[in-house]
Each structure stands twice: as C-alpha cells, then as structure tokens.
Amino acid sequence: MGLSEYKYFIFFLTLILLVPIGVLLASTSKFFEKVILFMMIFFTCRLTESIHFVSREFYRGTSRGFEVGLVDLVAMVLFLVIIIRQGKDFKIKMIPPGSFIYFIYFALSLASITNAYEPLYSYFEILKMIRMYFYFWVLYNYFNSYERIALAIHFIPAIIIYIFIIALYQKYRMGIYQISGPLPHQNSLCMYMTILSTIMFSQLMNEKKASILKSAFIFLMFGMGSLLVFFTLSRAGMVCYIGGCLVVLLLSYASGFEMKKFIITGMIGFGAIIAVVSMINTVLQRFENAPVQSKITRYNLAISAVNMANDKFLGIGLNNFGVKVNKPWPYSKHLEKGNKKFKEGLVETVYLMIAAETGWINLVVFAVFLLYYYIMNFINIFRFANTEYQYFAIGLAGGLGSIYLQSSLEWVLKQSPNFYQLMFCFAIIAAMMGIYKREFAISRRKEEREQDLQKQMEKTLNEEEMRQVQLAAANAARQEN
C-alpha cells in the first residue's frame, strides 16, 4: 500500500469509526468535548493530516484538490454534539450574523465558473468555501457563553509553543532563512501568528483578574509569538504586525489607564529594544536586499489581475488565475517572457485576485464581509467595556486590522490555515454580539419585572392607605353622631 493509499485508508477509518466514537464521548463527557474543541482549533496550524482527492499538486492556484482535513472531521463531531444536545445545552441559530453576505460572495464565486477554463479547479475552491462556512457555523453555535469563548482563547498558548518549537528547529538546526513552521509558507505563518499574538497582547494588557504568575506566562507567549513573526522575515507582515500591536496598545489605554498597563508597556519596550539590537542586521538586509525583480513581478501581475477583472463581469473563473495569467490568454501581454515554458504565479494581493477571478462586484461583497465583522467587533469593544471579556474584542481589532492590510500585499488569506483562523475570529465576534444581546434582553426583562413588581407594591400600598383613610373617616363620622 502506497503512502497516498495509506492516507485514504486512515481518513475513511477516521470518518467511519472514530467520528461516531468521538460524538459518543464528546456528547457524554465535558472533558472529551473540550478535547474536540482543542483539536478543532489546534489543527488549523498544520495540513499534514489533510488529504486531497483528485489532487493537482503542481497547479499554482489557491486550491489544488478537494481538500479534507482533520479539522473538518472534528468539526463534524462537534456539529453532531450540538445537534444531539440541542435544547439542553445549545440553542441553534441556523443563519448566524453575516451569513447572507457570505452567501452572496459564494454565489458570485460559483457563477464565475461559467468563465473558467478549468472548472475542476474552481470546484476545489468551492469545497474549501463550504468547509470554512461549516467551521464558522459550528463554532458560532458552540460559543454560546463567555466561558466557552475564554476556553478557546486559553488553547492559544499550546499552539504558540508548538509552532515555536518547530520554528527553532527549522531556524537553528536546519538553517532555514525564512521559517514557515508547520504552515505552507512564511507569509502564512506571519499572518497566522499575528492574530494569536495580538490576542495574547490584549489579554496581557486588559485581563483584570490575572495573577502575576499568569501575566508572566502570557507575556512569555506574546514574546514567543512576536519572535515567530520576525523569524518569518515577511516584510509586509512585520510592518502590519507592529501596526496591529499599536492598535491594541491604544485601545487598551483608551479602555482605562492602569499602572499595570504602564509597567507592561515599559517591559515590552525594553524587550523590543533587545530584539531589535539582536535582529536589526537581518531585518535590514531583508528590506535592503529585496530583489528588484520581485517588486516588478508583483506590479506586472497586478496589471494582469486588473485586465482580467475589466474583461469579465464575473471574472475569469474562480481559482483559474494560475491558468489564464499565461498564454494563450491576453491578460499578460505586457510581460516580457524570455522563457516560453515559464509559468507566471499568482497576484500578490487577495483583493485583486478575487476581482480577477470573480469580478469587481464580488470584491466589493468580500470587502463588506470583512468590514461587517470588524465594525461588529468595534461595537463589542464598547459594549464589553469594564468587563473581563473586553480583551477578546481589543485583540481582534488589532489582529484583524493587521491581516486585512497584509492581504493587500499577499494572497495567503485564501490558504486553509489562515482562512480557518479568519472564520474562527468571525465566530467569536458574532457569538459575543449574540451573547450580549441575549444577556441584555434577560437583564432588561428582569428590570421590567422588578419595575412591575414595584408598581404593584406601590399600588397595593396606595390602596391600603386609601382604605385606612376611609376607615378613619368612617370612625370619625360615627364618633360625631
């Protein structure tokens, strides 16, 4: 049995045997339920357990096969647990906030296949989009309490430690210049770590009940996450990450000044100076010695993407950029190709890629999709002011802003690990809004009941007072008679 056949065997064994066992254990044990949630979050950082049906590994596109991974299987387990315990522990909402925007984005992406030269490549990406929404749906319905969201956040250090160990091995044992950890590319790792590190930074600055020991541990996780970002030497990623951290810092001080925040800021500043001194030469070389041809290629591919978007209302076909950027299609006539066998790569911005493959209108829809959750998250910052959960929203404000900006220079947001992570963030944001509305409604109904009770008591007292007055008047009348 070959390696690929062995992976298929393991996959179907897991699907047929281990998924039902997982459902049984997780639906009856809180411990196994937490294990399933941990796996669902942890395994987004690695693709080793994923398999591709109808694989096209040599295609230069955003999807290279019908991919299914361990994350999808454990998401299926948690989905069935939610269904089984509906009404007891879960109240299912079929259409989570933001879903209709995603449905429009999906529908336009699907419609673009009419222009695809290789429809099969488009269906690779369609399956990915379905998987990502399923992942979002399951997490949204699972995160029906602050405690469950906090549990998910508490898994982040395990991911950081795991990636950090791999990164150290790659950097110092294997001598890799730009490490990628368990992710497919250094830019993927940089974007992935940006979200985790900004959440850790926000927790460090804003968690109100953290002990000194816990704060020291979170500080260590933030430091490790920041080092991972700089180990990637991703120029765009490093700059955007610093911007994301500044957003977290400003929002943390805006939420209230504390001496703890001032001390932490000083410690981070001191640590940053040490890191800059030790890494300054490597980072400067990365910026100064960046090949000019790379910049030219990025620019030329951006022109090709604009040509595609302008040519077709629905774009040239989802996941078909890697095909139509080359001859015989005319979109890259401005490129000088000395080697006729050379195949051009992908445009280095997720936004122009979406426009090229699915049309300008769909780019607008995608932008609205991203902004919808970002605005909702900002509302959460104000709604959860002076609570121990505000740091969720502050961390996401910095992290999401950073990867939105980084995506203007890189397309890795479409890769499975980063796409999963994006939907994880959106699930938290939407769940926090739902929890707030539910808790607010409960609090409002409680206040209304208390007000009604107060009015009833006042009415009863008034009636009793009137009765006493009437009784006194009657007694006075009898005495006069």
Distance separating alpha carbons of residues 268 and 201, to the nearest angstrom: 10
How far CA 54 is from CA of 15, 66, 84, 466, in Å, comes to 19, 6, 34, 86
Distance separating alpha carbons of residues 176 and 63, to the nearest angstrom: 26
Where in the chain are the domains?
94-440
Contact present, 301 and 322 (Cβ < 8 Å): no
pLDDT number for residue 339: 45
pLDDT number for residue 338: 47
Distance separating alpha carbons of residues 82 and 97, to the nearest angstrom: 18
Contact present, 52 and 125 (Cβ < 8 Å): no
Contact present, 419 and 427 (Cβ < 8 Å): no
3-state secondary structure of 98: coil
pLDDT number for residue 450: 61
Side-chain-facing half-sphere of 30: CA atoms under 13 Å: 3
Residue environment code for 145-154, b if the CB has 16+ CB neighbours within 10 A, otherwise e:
ebebbbbbbe
Token representation of residue 419: 């796409």
Distance separating alpha carbons of residues 20 and 16, to the nearest angstrom: 7
Distance separating alpha carbons of residues 110 and 317, to the nearest angstrom: 9
Distance separating alpha carbons of residues 396 and 378, to the nearest angstrom: 9
Q: For 249-311, give the DSSP string.
A: HHHHHHT---HHHHHHHHHHHHHHHHHHHHHHHHHHHHHHT--HHHHHHHHHHHHHHHHHHHH
Phi (first) and psi of residue 145, to 5 degrees: -150, 155
Contact present, 202 and 395 (Cβ < 8 Å): yes
Q: What is the pLDDT along the chain (481 residues), one digit of tens a residue?
A: 555 566 667 777 777 888 889 899 998 899 999 999 999 999 999 887 778 788 888 888 888 888 888 899 999 999 999 999 988 888 899 999 999 999 999 999 999 999 999 999 999 999 999 999 999 999 999 999 889 999 999 999 999 999 999 999 999 999 888 899 999 989 999 999 999 999 999 999 998 887 889 999 999 999 999 999 999 988 888 989 999 999 999 999 988 888 888 888 888 888 777 776 666 666 666 666 666 667 788 888 999 999 999 999 999 999 999 999 988 888 988 776 544 544 678 898 999 999 999 999 999 999 999 999 999 999 999 998 888 889 999 999 999 999 999 999 899 999 999 999 999 999 999 999 999 888 765 655 565 566 656 666 666 656 666 677 567 666 766 666 5
Phi (first) and psi of residue 297, to 5 degrees: -65, -45
Distance separating alpha carbons of residues 471 and 147, to the nearest angstrom: 58
Token representation of residue 456: 């009833």
Side-chain-facing half-sphere of 37: CA atoms under 13 Å: 26
Phi (first) and psi of residue 411, to 5 degrees: -105, 5
How far CA 187 is from CA of 109, 179, 339, in Å, comes to 25, 9, 28
How far CA 349 is from CA of 233, 287, 288, 406, in Å, comes to 18, 19, 22, 8
